[in-house]
Every structure is written in structure tokens, then in C-alpha cells.
Amino acid sequence: MSYQALMDALVKGEVATVVSIVDKAINVENKKPKDIIDNGLAPGMDVLGDQYDKGDAFLVDLVVAAEAFKRAMDIMKPKLQTGEQQIGTVVIGTILGDIHDLGKNLAKTILEAAGFKVIDLGVDVTPQTFASAVRAEILRAENVIVGISSLISTTMLSVKDVVAELENQGIRDEVKIIVGGAPVNEEFVKEIGADMYAGTAFEGVDKVKKAMGV
């Protein structure tokens, strides 16, 4: 297989080509999912991220690449479960009262492409659910990050409740918390006692990587 061809197909949004290359690589050529991700899918996502930052790629390109990545992951999943090492865990969700998940889903895909295990709690997630998921994950992994997405100004206040709930349960210091979404900013994140702010999905993933020393 050609990793370059896989990367190019992902960047161009050629979903069927991505699927066929990955399918052949896994089921015929017996390639490891980690190699496919590290050499094809992850660099493809990076290229797309750069293009998006420069205004050469658009939201639709990110959504299509995320779909291609998801389909590639579905093909690789059976092999992934046999002991691939992941560099950390991110518990991710859209905050209580909010159902917008496009940004959260993009962040999830890029995190998976970068080699993270992502626990996706979905939308309209209560602080208690965030805390329960964190509690479960810190038993399994050393590096756990909580990613909270909030798209509307009234629900962003509930992000603070997640921090409070983690504190109540005595697990606040076990994790780093990153917050993203239209109404939030660096200042807000500091004010509520979270750790990091992400302006875009790509920026979020960069910060998560740095926080984990990757």
C-alpha cells in the first residue's frame, strides 16, 4: 500500500478510496492499524488542519475527512482491540443543555487519529456523567483528559459545574480539563478553574498532546 496515496485521498475527501486502501491494507496486506494511522491518516489530518488554518480548506472538508476516518476506524477496529498502545484517554462530551456536536465530533476524530482513546459521552451530558466516566477511566489509564464542548452562552456556565463535581468527588487533580466552543475563551477557562482552552478542534488536539508530553 502507499501511505502517500492514503494521505492524499483523506485530504481530498475521497472517502471510497480511503476505505478501499485501508480495507486492503488490513485484510489483504495485514498491516497494523497503528502504522496506517501514524503514516497515512494522522498526517492527512495534519495537512488538512494546516489548509483549514490558511483558509484553503473548509468545514465541509473536515466533516468529510472525519467521515472517511470513522469508516477507516470501523475497518481497523477488530485489530485495534488486540493490544494497540494508546497514548492517553480523553473523556469528551457536549455540556448539559446543549446538543451541538459537530466541533466535539471533529475533535474526537482528530484525537483518535493522533492515537488517543476517546470516550465519547455524547451530547447534553451532566456533570455527574462526566465525573463517573472520569472515575472509571482513571482506574485504567494514567493520562486522562476531560474535553468539554459548549456552543451556547447559557450552557457554558454548566461547564463550571463539571469542574465542581470533579472537585466534590476528589478527582479534580487526577485530570486536566480542556474546554472549547464558540462562547468560551481563555479568560473564562481560567475563571472556572479548568486547565486549557481550545479555539478549534486542531488547537485542542495540539494542547492535549502537549499536556500529555507527546
Partner 1 sequence: MMTEEYMTPRERVLTTCEFKEPDRVPIDFGGLISTILDAGPYGYRALAKYLNVPKHPIYVAYILNTVANVDEKILNRLQVDTRKLFMPNAEGPITFDPDGAMTVWGGIRLKTIGNYYDPFDFPMRDFKTIDEIENYPKWPNPEDPMYYEGAEKMFKQFHEETDYCISAIPGYCALLGHTYSWFRGFDQWLLDMVLNPEFTKALMDKILEIDLEFIDRFFGLVGDYCDIVLVGDDMGTQEGPFMSPEMFREFVKPWMKKLYGRIHELTKAKLQMHSCGSIYKLIPDLIDVGVDIINPIQPLAKDMEPWRLKNEFQGKIVFHGGLDVQKMMAFGTPDEIREGAKEYLKIMAPGGGYIAAGSHNMEPETPPENIVTLFDTVYEYGKYPITI
Sites of contact with partner 1 (CB under 8 A): 13, 15, 52, 55, 58-60, 63-64, 67, 97-100, 102, 105, 152-155, 182, 200
Question: CB–CB of 182/94 below 8 Å?
Answer: no
Nearest distance from residue 204's CB to partner 1, in Å? 14
The phi, psi pair for 27, rounded to 5°, reads -90, -20
Cell of 50: 494546516
- Reading the block at residue 166, the C-alpha cell is 470533579
Nearer to partner 1, 46 or 203 (CB): 203
Identity of the residue numbered 207: K
User: Residue 16 or residue 136: which is nearer to partner 1 going by CB?
Assistant: 16
Q: Amino acid identity, residue 104?
A: K
Please report how close the Cβ of residue 183 comes to partner 1 at its closest, in angstroms.
9
Q: Which is nearer to partner 1, 100 or 135 (CB)?
A: 100
Q: CA 127 to CA 147: how far, in whole Å?
A: 12
**Min separation Cβ 67 and partner 1, Å:** 6
Q: Which is nearer to partner 1, 63 or 214 (CB)?
A: 63
Task: Give 198-202's long-range contacts (Cβ < 8 A, gap of 24+).
Answer: 198/107, 198/147, 200/52, 200/53, 201/62, 201/103, 201/106, 201/107, 201/110, 202/49, 202/52, 202/53, 202/110
Alpha-carbon gap, residue 37 to 113, rounded angstroms = 6
CA 107, CA 68: separation in Å to the nearest integer? 15
Closest distance of CB 143 from partner 1, Å: 29
Report the nearest approach of partner 1 to the CB of residue 35 (Å).
27
* Nearest CB to partner 1, comparing residues 105 and 143: 105
Q: By C-beta, is 20 or 200 nearer to partner 1? A: 200
User: Min. distance of Cβ 112 from partner 1 in angstroms?
Assistant: 17
